[in-house]
Amino acid sequence: MSKQRVGLYPGTFDPITNGHIDIIKRGLRLVDKLVIGVATNPSKNPMFTLEERVAMVDRETRPLAESSGVTFEVVQFDELLMHFAERVGASIIIRGLRAVADFEYEFQMTGMNYQINPSIETVFLMADPKYQTIASRLVKEVARYGGRIEAFVPDHVAKAVVARVAEQPIRGDFSGE
């Protein structure tokens, strides 16, 4: 019996963007089972609750996983990434790499994670160039100032962001509120 290859794609997904979805499509080609780990990440002061983020990720990506025949799960987590990876039986952690800006952080994190558990390999994937510059943080910022975000996120997500922005007054990410 050959061993099932399990991949874990962790992130905050606040909210899921077309960049994340592109990485997930690529990840589905590499593994037998893909777990999307949605991090609590209260320090990032998310726009959407953990439950909302999990539901959005699930809605936008489950059909892709089903049509690819890969076993698929969207799971929330609030623990050390490597402990979570061990718990779900992942042998691969998938991360997306955008511009050089991501590199320093990812480089450090991968190095430390490797020391925690050298049997789990981190794999970096690049999105299609048309999605490479998309970042959840900027999507929220554009929406807060009334810009169109339909090119960056799925329609359902765009509607949710616009609705949330309408409920919340404009406030800077660094206002400390």
Check: CB of residue 63 under 8 Å from CB of residue 100.
Answer: no
Give the strand order in the sheet containing 121-125.
Answer: 71-77, 33-39, 6-11, 92-96, 121-125
Task: Specify the residue, 95 or 140, whose C-beta has the smaller distance to ligand ADP.
Answer: 95
Segment (H or E) for 151: none
> If binding is defined by CB under 6 A, does position 144 make contact with ligand ADP?
no
By beta-carbon proximity to ligand ADP, the closer residue of 4 and 103 is 103
Residues touching ligand ADP: how many (CB under 6 A)?
A: 17
158 lies in the binding site for ligand ADP (CB under 6 A): no
Residues serving a catalytic function are 20, 44, 98, 136
Q: Verify binding: residue 98, ligand ADP, rule CB under 6 A.
A: yes
**Stretch binding ligand ADP (CB under 6 A), from 62-70, 92-100, 142-150, 155-163:** 92-100
Figure out which of the listed residues 6, 13, 77, 84 binds ligand ADP, where binding follows CB under 6 A.
13
Q: Which of residues 32-71 bind ligand ADP (CB under 6 A)?
A: none
Helix segments in 39-135, DSSP class H: 50-68, 81-87, 100-116
Cβ atoms of 75 and 8 within 8 Å: the answer is no
The DSSP call for residue 177 is: -
Which three-class secondary structure state does DSSP give residue 131? helix
In this chain, which of 35, 82, 134, 149 binds ligand ADP, going by CB under 6 A?
A: 134
Q: Cα–Cα distance between 11 and 132 in angstroms, integer?
A: 16
Q: Is 96 in the site for ligand ADP (CB under 6 A)?
A: yes
Using a 10 angstrom Cβ sphere, with 0-12 exposed, 13-18 middle and 19 or more buried, the burial of residue 14 is buried
**Contact of 84 with 10, CB cutoff 8 Å:** yes
In terms of CB distance, is 68 or 132 closer to ligand ADP? 132
Least Å from the CB of residue 157 to ligand ADP: 13
Which residues form the interface with ligand ADP (CB under 6 A)?
Answer: 11-13, 17, 19-20, 23, 95-96, 98, 102, 127, 131-132, 134-136
